[in-house]
Copies of this chain bind each other. A is one copy, B any other.
Amino acid sequence: MEMKEFYDYEGEISKLSNAVSLLEWDMRTKIPPKGVKDRAEVIGKLSRMIFEMSTAPKMAEFVEYFNRPRIYDSLSDVDRREVDLASKHYRRQKSIPPDKIEKFSIICSKGESIWQEARAESNFAKFQPVLEEIVEYLKEFTELYGYEENRYDALLEGYEPSTTTNDIKKIVDGLKTDLVPFIKKISQAKVPNDAILNGNFDKSLQEKLSIEVLKAMTYDLDGGRLDETAHPFTIGIGPGDVRVTTKYDPKNLKPSFFGTMHEGGHALYEQGISKEYRRTMVGTAASMGIHESQSRTWENMIGRSRAFWKFFYPKLVEIFPQYADIPVEDFYKAINVVRPSLIRIEADEVTYNLHIILRFEIEEAIINDRVKVADLPELWNSKIKEYLGMEPSNDAEGVLQDVHWAGGQMGYFPSYMLGNLYAAQFFARARKEIPDLDERIASGDLKTFREWQREKIHRHGSLYDPKDLVMKVTGEPLNHKYFMDYITEKFSDVYGI
């Protein structure tokens, strides 16, 4: 058996995945309302086919064969990595019986619609029974997947390969210790005026601005496009077709502008993966956390920096002349206002991680039976009080705010935090290696940094586990101090503290 045969087989699966990606992109951007029901059936059919191919005897044969020591050792590094990733994926897929997966996905659909009602009514009791069912399934899955130390590891593995609950706990402990006091300090300082971000912003002009910034970021519009959607996302339909979406608030520029930069950061990653890994598992992103680090870098470290706006403010003024009389420094401060919020998706870059820490701690406790679903609202409220000093007035702005659990996703939230931390550590490294980085950004040269990212991170795809990648790029393991240094320096300046 040759690796070529294996790659061809994976290639066939990849073609079906591309089709599903387009079907999903369309469902979230273009589909007419009456097409939705049929579309779900079409996606269901193709997803089943992908599952069947991924768990077929043919795949078992590949996994068995290429893992034979003598064969495995004869492979190139990249081929070995491909075999590792495919084997891991195969075993994970095979560990849960298909009928259980199907039942779970039905319960999650039900979960999402009950959650919607429960949130609208701010009624956790309504959501509780289905969430209990979901949690029971997830606990069972962790046993089927297997883990070494902590049940929660088995869930993390689906999003952040080779990162353990213990790894995250260590990070969380350090971060909390440093972050909570810093936020207290900021909370006592004078908030800059961010009312200047409100106004009337024509949608087609916002779109123009989004295209402008994507071009500045070196996003390749010949290999992608920008569309409007309700919940923005980026999707790779193939190596030459990586699409970005955004949404427009007619009264505020922030959602579309920073949303576009965020998604553009994801897109640069997808566009930068080496074409030689096309249609392989190595040719996919290293992890959700690494992906998020790329989007956060562009959204926050570049998009909310003084250097960037030195270059980009005139372009903004050109499209929205109402900013002509507002000094760029005022604008810079306005986009960096820190204002603790009960709602995660409204959080700024300083407080965001605390929302994640709270969720991680709750998820980990639930999966390990240290907390009951019934006790979630109370636990939530006490934690948010501790971390942000605020109290939700109802469950809709507390425990019911996110869709993730209703959809069966536990283990995903930590990726958001890891993304922020990876981003800061990578960016600190880039600063070292490109000493005039700020000047380059201020002059509109974003390509030098993008090339650095591509060279160090993007092109490798999944060739390295996130942990190894961080080590390779920065010379040390993930350390939350880079993030703390970054926000301390930036916000001490913005807030004059």
Instruction: Report which A residues bind B (CB closer than 8 A).
Output: 12, 15-16, 18-19, 22-23, 26, 30-39, 41-42, 45-46, 220-225, 237-241, 243
Contact = CB atoms under 8 A, between A and B. Distances in A.
Most B C-beta atoms less than 10 A away, residue of A12, A38, A225: A38
B42 A18 contact: yes
B38 A240 contact: yes
A222 B37 CA distance: 13
B37 A16 contact: no
Nearest to A238: B38
A31 B22 CA distance: 10
A38 B239 contact: yes
Contacts of A38: 18, 237-241
A444 B45 CA distance: 43
A23 B33 CA distance: 19
Nearest to A41: B15
A12 B46 CA distance: 10
Q: Is the interface of A mostly helix, strand, loop or mixed?
A: helix
B225 A34 contact: no
A240 B32 contact: yes
B19 A46 contact: yes
14 contacts: A12-B45, A15-B42, A18-B38, A18-B42, A22-B23, A22-B26, A22-B42, A26-B26, A30-B30, A32-B225, A32-B240, A32-B241, A33-B222, A37-B240
Contacts of A39: 18, 238, 241
Contact of A34 (B30, B33, B223): B223
A335 B15 CA distance: 47
Contacts of A222: 32-34
A346 to B, nearest CB: 32
A400 B66 CA distance: 54
Nearest to A18: B42
Given A18-B38, A19-B23, A42-B15, A32 B239 contact: no
Contacts of A223: 32-35
Contact of A32 (B32, B34, B221): B221
B19 A241 contact: no
Nearest to A12: B45
Contacts of A46: 15-16, 19
The 7 A-B residue pairs with the shortest CB-CB distance, nearest first, are A35-B241, A34-B240, A38-B238, A34-B223, A15-B45, A35-B240, A15-B42
Nearest to A240: B34
A286 B239 CA distance: 40
Most B C-beta atoms less than 10 A away, residue of A18, A37, A220: A18
A37 B237 CA distance: 12
A19 B18 contact: no
A123 B239 CA distance: 38
Contacts of A237: 35, 38
A235 to B, nearest CB: 12
Contacts of A241: 31-32, 34-35, 38-39
Nearest to A26: B22
A15 B39 CA distance: 9
Contact of A30 (B41, B225, B239): B225
Nearest to A33: B222
A486 B42 CA distance: 44
A211 to B, nearest CB: 13
A32 B34 CA distance: 27
A220 B241 CA distance: 30
Contacts of A36: 240
A222 to B, nearest CB: 5
Contacts of A16: 42, 45-46
A173 B302 CA distance: 73
A488 to B, nearest CB: 41
Contacts of A31: 241
Given A32-B221, A32-B224, 5 more contacts: A15-B42, A19-B19, A32-B240, A35-B238, A35-B241
Nearest to A49: B49
Nearest to A21: B42
A41 B19 CA distance: 10
A237 B19 CA distance: 14
Most B C-beta atoms less than 10 A away, residue of A23, A30, A221, A224: A30
